[in-house]
Structure 1
Amino acid sequence: MSWWATINLYFMILFFTTLGYSSFSESRTNESFRGGRIDHLLENIDISLGIPLLMFSCCFWMFIPWRRQLPVIFNRHKQTVTCYIEGRVVSCDWSSLEAYIKNITTIAVGGAPINEGVLQLVFPNDSSHRSRSPRIGIKATEDVPAAIINGGSYGAGMIWEYIRLYMNEGIDAVPPPAPEANYRATGIRDCIDFMNPWMPFTYRAWWKLLVAILLSPISVPFLTCVLLGDITYMMFDRVLPRRKWPQQLIDACDGVWNGEEQ
């Protein structure tokens, strides 16, 4: 969601700038404005830039939840599972962990229903004061086409199978990941390779090149907005702080990971 909010910032700037240009043409026709395009843009910058930035600031909270998330540590050597639930670190033996797959349908206001799968890990209740066992949910993967085509529960089942194979048989039994794209951009070059506005013009087939030229008034501004948004999102991702790992989670890794960014 935070990525989409960043992308939409540039779409809104493009939208309000286009409205400003239409207003400029009308003003010149009516002779109510005698300056140039730059003068008109600067005069109305509070609309073309101010409104998008205000709307983006209202969505900035989307960056906070996922940056406060902490991982689930699966230690195969000790056969333990450790994570952070409800303000405390919870750990249990692998053999006592329970797992459930839930199929959830989310309906947004004015939108189509979205089917999502959730893998829920349930830890044994270690306190008589708690009526409910500690549990944590993991969203289904969307990194492979099969998970998208077959629905959310399929992706949740894939995550559980990865976990089960690793804990029972080892890392060699786990299939190598095959994501459609990198989880996060490592540099501006990754952003350009992902959404290069001029990439369609490199097609060698004449009919593809012809389609790219015909659609360029739409595709070039669209891809440019996505590219700028992707670069901006990468900058936010590097600058904004993440939640510090509790020492218990670091200890559960047995020195394999110290909780720092890789």
Structure 2
Amino acid sequence: MYLLEMMHWKSKTSEDLAPSLCTVMLDGADCPSTGQRTEAQPDDGFAIFSVSENFIDVQGAWQEDKRGLITFVFLGLMYAWQYMMLYRILIPELGILFSGIDENGFPLSMEGYIFIPLTGMVWVAFNVLFFKFLWRWIRLEIFVQRRIVVRFNRVTRQVHINRPAYAGGVVTLSWDATVPEMSGGDPGSASGDGRLMLAWPSHYSGAGFDDLCMIGGALADRGSAEELWEYIRRYMEEGPDAVPQPARLRSMFPWPWDSVRSTLSFLVPSWRTGDKGLVLTFALILSPLLLLHSICHWLSLLLCWPTRWSGIIKSAGLPGAAVPRLTVAEDFGVEVARKLRASTIKVVDEPDDPAGLHRAKSSSEFDSE
């Protein structure tokens, strides 16, 4: 689901100018540049959807595999209120109301004339409240695009992030303004907490807003995050021949076995480092819940639509094709642009840090001084 992406966008467009995730990430960070080779060997980390001479499409949602619970709740509510309440109760009672004859063949009583419309009003009120207050949370994982995809175009040297509209929509940023941050357990620990985050601070990109995207899923450790970053970096800087072909591409189609793999992914770190017999026993005990989770995970993917790119992004990098324009804050409208610019990082130059990367403040910190 896309909870993190929605929260990040809300933090940038709300009146409460708390430090954004991008501010927290860069405060005190020591980040390599896009042109700086790391010691890690490039590895795709099973995060690549497609690769070509011009671009690679990479998984851009850290919590993409964490779905299924909202689908279970949604389907349960729909069964209770749309099937049981509407089809099994309300529709037959409306037939009785219009005929004036109850199920026993007697004239409908005054209580029936009051109770049946009241039942209908309760059903209508539930649906109004549901779509008014809960629908945006339901769309964190269903009735939304199936994947968040990040396209790295080495010809135009641009990064395109395709997210739902409630998380900022599709944005185009400069590759040269990318700041990576890798975190997780020590390389080789297989702790399952590896994270690769890419940021585009406003003072680097000139977009008028800070952006942040987590690449790949939950990686094995910090070493895996460094290897994935080096894979992307070498592809962009040195070309497709500088990196190995992915051992296996992620599928954009919702295959059921991918849902099973995602459901069992939380057991992988323990399987790698712990007692395999204990892990198997634990999985067998939880097998009914794991099966239910896998089914709901798969249904959530089926209830989404494929991620789509605009024509100009699809053709970017081809001979004679137009280069997509970089996204700026004003593309989101005047009011949203004002909030985005107010939430950006402001750089504090220090004698030993002329670039200002190692000490950044959000606008709210400046306003409080």
Same-fold status (TM-score > 0.5)? no
Larger relative contact order (C-alpha < 8 A, sep ≥ 6)? 2
Bigger fraction of residues in helix: 1
Superposition TM-score, scaled by structure 2 size: 0.34
